[in-house]
């Protein structure tokens, strides 16, 4: 079953088109990476999914239904721009947010206590956010997102502002939610997180989708065109038509092949040039590279890997 | 649970529990009441006893007897008993010969007077019935007690002087008694105490101040949610309209709570406190219950009208600093009646006053004043309320459309044209 389905969704603000003809689906029980540069239209798309704004054209279905106040109740949404009431006790805020999702106060307090313990901020239960660090406030916001036990969660930039320890804790929580069968949309600029966690991705830029599908397929379609080469001797043999670029690191070089070039040919030339090869490895392109190349290509710039 | 109710509950509880509310609502009226009651309470308490040594050189024993009777028993010449607080006086007479220096004699008591605050000396010099002034010496010679001494002395001396001239004081008292003007309105009802325009003015100022305060509370609340970015989390659970109405109703309930406490205090005071004031010779106004009801209704209507506009200002701006400027038009509309009420007070029944008080933005302040002053016809009162309610409905409609767009917009304040666009967005 598809938890989210967008069909040719367009949203305009006056002359500005924030989202144009966007379609994608999010499968149940998966983590979906929703990527794109700042201002690409991610937040607008997410706001339409959570029923904050309505699309001008196209159709959005959440959990099999047309987006509505009812589907809104079943989503946990952690917005990129998020905050807490400054002078309200942590526990009161959590109960308030759960109340808004229809959870009764006593049950909400019970669940909040569990999560405060789980995220190691139980001591802050009766404190106000003014007294807390930003990282701790983020944890409280995370709890507010999951307290009503939604089937489907959206995390918009959840890692921004988190220290490494908290970021790791958050990653564990997200993976744990996935294990429990929850579906997650996850928007971030940190490509390592996406590579580690996401099943499917969608990359948008300037309101349009430029790349999408399962992470494996996306990577495969970009081919194995990066070579790690560690050699001793003259590097003249690299100055030729097979190579697009070369990044020299302390102990090795990273070469990116031209489209259609054969990696074996590089190895053959190295051997015939008489250099000593210590390491030769064919790599998948990193998501980071795919991201940058795709965005550049979509903008009509040279964008090869 | 109804989602709007959740918001109302939060707005209400966080504010009612705040120190500012407790101080503003409960402590300040208590403080005012205490300030009013305390002095009279202190008089009763501070009384204690007073031992007065009367150095009598007057040669008229009736003067001493008269003072003694009045101070020790609290009885006036007319036979009327007058409260002298609960001070117990004890008078002791020392007869001084006419050729003795009475003040030098008094000096010999100074040590005692200076050290014991209950001790006092009273000098009745010879010729006191003509022009010589008596003298009262005490450690604290201008305390509340001395008034009783002075009154008694005056009463006795007046009686003695009149007697000396062969006149009967009780007759003279009767002839010179001052009259009390009976003030009635055309309905034949008698009006006592503080003039109605003063009550009207007090109600007008209260409504003016509270609508201003509570309106600004609403604006700050909207800005807080916007600035701290809570708003997006909240409206992913409820409609912006529910959030706005929850805030307006929640803060309005806080105001209503405050008004109810005040009005109840006033009623309780009228029931139990007035008699005390009456005994002190102060007449307090009689405020009809209907006025209090109008008072609350006009506060509620005025609050909703202006708080809605303040909610719009909050949704338009991103920071409190921006709000300072953006709120000016709304604040001006609230302040305008403060410039006009003098005109209405001078002639509350004129056409201008009637028309002004029927303008929805001015009704909550100017109509309550006219109600206190002239009992305007019922159609005008009801009409002004209906006018306000219709204006509130229109304002809520327009503002909610601006609000739902504004709360997600940051940065530059929108122009009027942009606001128009926001209203038209689907």
Q: What is the dihedral of CA A242, A243, A244, A250, to 10 degrees?
A: 170
Per-residue pLDDT band at A115 (split at 50, 70, 90): very high
Cβ-based contacts of B7 with chain A (< 8 Å): 100
Q: Which of B20, B229, B233 to mutate to test the interface with A (most CBs of A within 10 A)?
A: B233
Interchain CB distance below 8 Å, A82 and B232: yes
Average pLDDT over residues B137-143: 80
Report the alpha-carbon distance of residue A70 to residue A67 in Å, rounded.
8
Interchain CB distance below 8 Å, B229 and A81: yes
Whether the pLDDT of residue B194 is over 70: the answer is no
Report the alpha-carbon distance of residue B58 to residue B88 in Å, rounded.
25
Per-residue pLDDT band at A244 (split at 50, 70, 90): confident
Q: Is residue B14 less than 8 Å (CB to CB) from chain A?
A: yes
| Sign of the torsion formed by the C-alpha atoms of A279, A282, A287 and A288 | positive
Residue of B1, B7, B237 lying closest to A72 (CB–CB)? B237
Q: Is residue B409 less than 8 Å (CB to CB) from chain A?
A: no
Residue of A52, A87, A102 lying closest to B236 (CB–CB)? A52
Q: What is the pLDDT of residues A15-36, one digit of tens each?
A: 889 999 999 999 999 999 999 8
Which residue does chain B place closest to A78, by CA atoms?
B233
Residue of B228, B235, B421 lying closest to A52 (CB–CB)? B235
Q: Judge residue B38's burial from the number of C-beta atoms within 10 Å of its C-beta, 0-12 exposed, 13-18 middle, 19 or more buried.
A: exposed
What is the value of pTM for the model shown?
A: 0.73
Chain B closest CA to A104's CA: distance in Å?
Answer: 8
Report the alpha-carbon distance of residue A145 to residue A79 in Å, rounded.
9
Report the alpha-carbon distance of residue B377 to residue B369 in Å, rounded.
14
Q: Give residue B242's pLDDT.
A: 94
Q: How far is CA A138 from the centre of its chain?
A: 17
Q: Is residue B10 less than 8 Å (CB to CB) from chain A?
A: yes
Q: What is the pLDDT of residues A45-103, one digit of tens each?
A: 999 999 998 899 999 999 999 998 889 999 999 998 788 998 899 999 999 999 999 99
Report the alpha-carbon distance of residue A211 to residue B134 in Å, rounded.
108
Give the DSSP H or E segment for A165. Answer: helix A164-179
Report the alpha-carbon distance of residue B261 to residue B292 in Å, rounded.
12
Q: Is residue B224 less than 8 Å (CB to CB) from chain A?
A: yes
* B371 and B381 Cβ atoms separated by less than 8 Å: yes
Q: Give residue B248's pLDDT.
A: 96
Mean residue pLDDT across chain B: 84
Cβ-based contacts of A51 with chain B (< 8 Å): 236
Pure H helices in B17-76: 19-22, 28-46, 61-73
Interchain CB distance below 8 Å, A14 and B421: yes
SS3 B83: coil
Q: How far is CA A161 from the centre of its chain?
A: 15
Q: What is the pLDDT of residues B313-326, one digit of tens each?
A: 999 998 888 888 88
Q: Which of A10, A13, A52, A69 to mutate to test the interface with B (most CBs of B within 10 A)?
A: A52
Q: Is residue B130 less than 8 Å (CB to CB) from chain A?
A: no
Tokens read off for B252: 């309005």
**If you compute the radius of gyration of chain A from its CA atoms, what whole number of angstroms results?**
23
Q: Give residue B85's pLDDT.
A: 56
Which residue does chain B place closest to A130, by CA atoms?
B228
Q: What is the pLDDT of residues A251-291, one digit of tens each?
A: 788 887 777 777 888 888 888 888 888 888 887 778 888 88
Main-chain dihedrals φ then ψ at residue A20, nearest 5 degrees: -125, 120
Q: What is the pLDDT of residues A131-141, one digit of tens each?
A: 998 888 888 99
Q: What is the pLDDT of residues B103-133, one digit of tens each?
A: 888 888 888 888 887 888 988 888 888 878 8
Q: Is residue B228 less than 8 Å (CB to CB) from chain A?
A: yes
Report the alpha-carbon distance of residue A71 to residue A73 in Å, rounded.
5
* A144 and A99 Cβ atoms separated by less than 8 Å: no
Residues 6+ apart with CB under 8 A from A97: A144, A147, B233, B234, B237
Closest CA to B181 of B189, B191, B172: B191
Report the alpha-carbon distance of residue A175 to residue A173 in Å, rounded.
5
Give the DSSP H or E segment for A172. Answer: helix A164-179
Q: What is the pLDDT of residues A125-177, one digit of tens each?
A: 999 999 998 888 888 999 999 999 999 999 998 887 778 888 888 889 999 99
Cβ-based contacts of A104 with chain B (< 8 Å): 1
Task: List the single range of B44-53, B145-154, B373-382 with lowest mean pLDDT.
Answer: B44-53
Which residues of A74-207 form beta strands (DSSP E)? Answer: 75-78, 152-156, 183-187, 200-205
Residue of B10, B228, B232 lying closest to A86 (CB–CB)? B228
Report the alpha-carbon distance of residue B281 to residue B134 in Å, rounded.
28
Closest CA to A48 of A10, A83, A80: A10
Q: Which of A83, A126, A144 to mutate to test the interface with B (most CBs of B within 10 A)?
A: A83
B88-95/A65-66 β-pairing: unpaired
Interchain CB distance below 8 Å, B238 and A99: no
Give the residues across from A295 on adjacent strands: none
Q: Give residue B114's pLDDT.
A: 85
Q: Give residue B74's pLDDT.
A: 67
Whether the pLDDT of residue B59 is over 70: the answer is yes
Q: Is residue B69 less than 8 Å (CB to CB) from chain A?
A: no
Report the alpha-carbon distance of residue B271 to residue B194 in Å, rounded.
17
3-state SS track over B327-377: CHHHHHHHHHHHHHHHHHHHCCCCHHHHHHHHCHHHHHHHHHHHHHHHCCC
Whether the pLDDT of residue B190 is over 70: the answer is no
């Amino acid at each position: 079953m598809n938890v989210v389905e967008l069909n040719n969704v367009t949203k305009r603000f006056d002359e500005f088109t924030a989202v144009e003809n966007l379609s994608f689906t999010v499968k149940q029980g998966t983590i979906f990476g929703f990527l794109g540069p700042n201002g690409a239209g991610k937040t607008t798309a997410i706001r339409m999914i959570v029923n904050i704004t309505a699309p001008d054209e196209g159709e959005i279905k959440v959990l099999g239904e047309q987006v509505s106040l009812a589907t809104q109740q079943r989503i946990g949404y952690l917005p990129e721009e998020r905050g807490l009431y400054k002078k309200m006790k942590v526990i009161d805020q959590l109960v308030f947010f759960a109340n808004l999702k229809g959870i009764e106060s006593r049950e909400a307090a019970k669940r909040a206590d569990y999560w405060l313990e789980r995220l190691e901020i139980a001591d802050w239960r009766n404190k106000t956010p003014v007294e807390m660090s930003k990282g701790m406030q983020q944890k409280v916001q995370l709890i507010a997102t999951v307290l009503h036990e939604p089937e489907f969660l959206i995390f918009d930039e959840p890692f921004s502002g988190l220290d490494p320890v908290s970021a790791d804790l958050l990653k564990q929580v997200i993976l744990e939610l996935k294990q429990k069968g929850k579906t997650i949309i996850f928007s971030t600029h940190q490509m390592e997180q996406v590579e580690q966690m996401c099943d499917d991705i969608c990359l948008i830029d300037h309101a349009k989708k430029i790349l999408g599908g399962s992470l494996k397929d996306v990577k495969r379609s970009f081919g194995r065109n990066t070579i790690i080469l560690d050699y001793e001797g003259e590097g003249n043999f690299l100055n030729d038509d097979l190579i697009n670029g070369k990044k020299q690191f302390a102990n090795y070089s990273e070469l990116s092949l031209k489209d259609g070039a054969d990696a074996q040919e590089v190895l053959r030339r190295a051997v015939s040039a008489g250099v000593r090869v210590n390491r030769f490895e064919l790599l998948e392109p990193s998501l980071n590279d795919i991201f940058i190349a795709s965005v550049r290509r979509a903008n009509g710039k040279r964008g090869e890997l | 649970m109804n989602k709007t109710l959740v918001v109302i509950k939060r707005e209400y509880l966080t504010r009612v529990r705040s120190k500012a509310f407790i101080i503003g609502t409960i402590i300040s009226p208590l403080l005012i009441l205490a300030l009013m009651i305390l002095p009279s309470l202190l008089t009763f308490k501070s009384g204690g006893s007073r031992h007065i040594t009367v150095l009598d050189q007057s040669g008229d024993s009736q003067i001493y007897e008269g003072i003694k009777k009045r101070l020790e028993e609290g009885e006036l010449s007319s036979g009327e008993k007058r409260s002298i607080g609960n001070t117990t006086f004890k008078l002791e007479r020392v007869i001084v010969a006419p050729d003795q220096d009475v003040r030098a004699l008094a000096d010999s008591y100074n040590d005692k007077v200076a050290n014991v605050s209950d001790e006092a000396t009273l000098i009745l010099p010879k010729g006191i019935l003509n022009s010589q002034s008596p003298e009262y010496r005490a450690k604290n010679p201008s305390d509340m007690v001395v008034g009783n001494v002075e009154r008694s002395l005056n009463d006795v001396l007046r009686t003695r002087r009149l007697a000396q001239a062969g006149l009967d004081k009780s007759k003279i008292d009767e002839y010179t008694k001052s009259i009390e003007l009976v003030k009635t309105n055309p309905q034949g009802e008698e009006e006592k105490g503080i003039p109605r325009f003063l009550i009207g003015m007090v109600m007008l100022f209260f409504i003016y101040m509270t609508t201003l305060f509570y309106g600004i509370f609403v604006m700050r609340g909207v800005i807080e949610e916007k600035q701290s970015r809570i708003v997006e989390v909240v409206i992913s659970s409820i409609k912006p309209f529910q959030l706005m109405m929850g805030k307006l109703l929640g803060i309005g309930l806080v105001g209503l709570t405050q008004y109810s406490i005040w009005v109840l205090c006033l009623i309780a005071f009228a029931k139990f406190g007035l008699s005390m004031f009456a005994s002190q010779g102060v007449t307090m106004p009689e405020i009809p219950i209907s006025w209090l009801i109008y008072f609350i209704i006009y506060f509620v209507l005025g609050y909703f009208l202006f708080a809605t506009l303040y909610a719009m200002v909050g949704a338009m701006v991103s920071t409190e600093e921006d709000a300072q400027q953006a709120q000016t038009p709304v604040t001006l509309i609230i302040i305008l009646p403060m410039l006009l009420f003098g005109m209405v007070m001078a002639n509350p029944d004129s056409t201008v006053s009637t028309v002004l008080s029927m303008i929805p933005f001015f009704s909550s302040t100017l109509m309550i004043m006219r109600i206190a002053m002239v009992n305007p016809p019922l159609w005008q009162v009801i009409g002004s309320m209906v006018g306000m309610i219709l204006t509130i409905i229109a304002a809520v409609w327009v503002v909610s459309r601006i609000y739902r767009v504004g709360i997600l917009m940051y940065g530059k304040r929108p122009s009027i044209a942009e606001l128009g666009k926001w209203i038209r967005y689907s």
